[in-house]
Every structure is written in structure tokens, then in C-alpha cells.
Amino acid sequence: MSISIKQQIIAKHLEQDIIEYQLISANGFQVNFLNYGGIISGIYTPDSQGKLDNVVLSRTEFDPENPGHWGATTGRIAGRIAGAKFELEGQIYQLNDNKLGNNLHGGPGGIDKQIWQVTLLTDGAELSHFSPDGTAKFPANVHFKVRYQITQDNRLTISYSATCDRTTIINLTNHSYFDLSAGKNAMGMELEVPATHFGEIDATGCVTGKLSSVSDTPFDFRKSKPLGQDIFANHPQLELANQGYDHPFVLDNTQAIRLSDPLSERTLEITTDEPCCVVYSANFTTPKHIAVCLETQRMPNAINWPEFRESVIFSPDKPYHSQTHWQFGVK
């Protein structure tokens, strides 16, 4: 498949070049990413009239702190680890506390704050990063790889893999903020999630281990509805997330997660081999609710749930891998 790839240096960080790469298909579909944190810095896809717009939140200038983790590959563990600690093979690991007593997205030394090596492919790029044992207080030497590959029919495939030299924990995702309306009405986008249960959170935003039915709650997205339809409902779980969604949904089957915008008629279908999708409605941005993250991953805080912990434990003979497809289109 023929795509064009461009690159430009956009900043310097720790005396190293920050490079933005542009993957461009023949029909104009375009995905931009940085060699820093694997950040997806732009996705340009047409509306029903053929007009190309960026449909993810993007910064106008490079910011190494990247508040809100816009577009980043988050890890070693995506989401919160309760109490910023976990037990593995009889040893307690105390991590950096960077979010109300929890470890969020791997902490200050997470892979989203690292410069990755980039190898260009015929249809995209492969990013690689070596994380030494003890980085951000996590065990094991880990080699991470992320592939971004695009097609002529406006699909981005994200493939993750990791190998380690001893037992450790891994759970990666991409933290892009979608706004198919391109700034016009994000909460008017319609979302469908094939999930009958969601994971509850506590006052610190950490998943508690309790799964609840979505039936008769604002969390029922089994039939498509506007994101903003129930976001201000009187529900304790919405209030705990600063009045919005920031919860894992347990995916029932292989059906797609669907997002659509009635204004532009853009659509996004997400398919994945992951068991969960965290729906985050940008409750802490300024202003609030300007986009939605759809983070496919293992269950957050899984290492502290007996029934889910094995899903995030990896070893030399059990490498990590995951794949998610973002298919963009129009109604």
C-alpha cells in the first residue's frame, strides 16, 4: 500500500529532537504522531462533504509534561494502581504516588514521558522503547513496541507488544481525546458501547473491584445515545468522576464501539482484542467535556483484583501483545 510519510523537528527536549511524523494516505487521511510518548498529535479525516478536520485534541506547542496525557501511549500501567502499590511474587512494590494516593498511567517516569526510536514502514511506523529494571519503580527490563499503520480506507491500527526478562506487569493504551465534530459539539456525539457492566470507582478515581450493571443507569450505552444526554444525572459514580464518565466498561463481545457525530456525519468504529474500554469524558479539562477518550485496555487496577490480576502479569515466556483498530468513516 502506498502512503507518504513526512517528518519535521518541532522542538528540543533534553538536547534531543522531538519529531512529528505524518502518515498520509492517497485520499488525504492523515495521522500525526511524535517520537515522544508515542503521542498521536493529529488525525485528519473527512466529513460527509469531504472536508478534512483534526478529530483529536492537539497542542499548538510541544509540552513535555502533557497534562491530561493527550494522545499518549500510557504505561507501564494505564490507569490508576490503588495506593500506588502492588504485590508480585511475594514482593511489595511501592510506586510513585502522582494522583490522590494512587499511581496514574505509570507515574512521572511513565513511557508517555520518554523519547522512542522510530522505524518507518511502508504503511506506517514502529516505535520502540527500552525501559530498564526499576524505571518508575516497576520491576524488569522491558522492550516496548508500538506500531501505527494506516490504510486507504481511513483506518488506523495500533499494535502493542512488549517482552521482559522477568515477571512484571503491563497494561498499555492510547489516551487520544476524540471530537468528531472538530470543536463544534463534543457532547452531542453519539456513543455505543457493547457492555452490560462497568467498573465502579472510589473518591480518588480508582477502580474499586466492584462491577455494576449498566441497566437503568447513565452508564447504559448499549444503544447509541449522545454523550451529554445523562452526564449531569444525579448518580454517585458520575459525581465521583467530577461529573462525568471515567470508568471501565467490560466489553461483552467482539462488536465495535461506535462513536458518531450528527453534525459532520463522521463516524468511528473501534474494534479490539482487549476486554475493557475506559470511557473518559474529559471531566478535568478546561473547559470540561470537550472530547471523549475511548481507552481499550485490560481492567484498570487489575493487579489488585484477584480475578483480573493474571491479565496484566507477563514474563519472559509470556510476552505482552494487543491490537486496536480505529476505523473512521461517514454516515
Q: Residue 230 is placed in which grid cell?
A: 445523562
Predicted confidence (pLDDT) per residue in 99-133, tens digit: 999 999 999 999 999 999 999 999 999 999 999 99
**CA–CA–CA angle 51, 52, 58 (5° rounding):** 145
Question: HEC profile for 195-236?
Answer: EEEEEEECCCCCEEEEEEECCCCCCCCCCCEECCCCCCCCCH
Active site residues: 175, 295
**C-beta separation of 23 from 118 below 8 A:** no
CA torsion angle 241 242 243 249 (round to 10): -20
- CB contact at 8 A, 124 and 150: yes
Mean pLDDT in consecutive groups of 10 residues from the start of the chain, 331 residues: 92 98 98 99 98 98 98 99 98 97 96 99 98 98 99 98 99 99 98 99 98 99 99 99 99 94 98 98 98 99 97 99 99 94
Ramachandran angles phi, psi of 268, nearest 5°: -140, 125
Spatial contact of 42 and 30, defined as CB atoms under 8 Å apart: yes
CB 25, CB 157: distance < 8 Å: no
**Which pLDDT does position 328 carry in this prediction?**
99
Task: Enumerate domains of the chain plus CATH numbers.
Answer: 17-330 (2.70.98.10)
pLDDT-above-70 percentage for the chain: 100
Determine the pLDDT at residue 253. Answer: 84
Of the candidates 197, 199, 324, the residue with the CA atom closest to the CA atom of residue 257:
324
Instruction: For 136, list phi and psi in degrees, rounded to 5.
Output: 55, 20
For 54-89, the DSSP string reads: E-B---SS--TT-TT-TT-EE-SB-SEEGGGEEEET
The Cβ of residue 119 has, within 10 Å, a number of other Cβ atoms equal to: 10
* Dihedral sign, Cα of residue 40, residue 61, residue 15, residue 122: positive
Contact 195, 249 (CB under 8 A): yes
C-alpha cell at 228: 451529554
Rounded distance between C-alpha atoms, residue 206 and residue 204, angstroms: 6
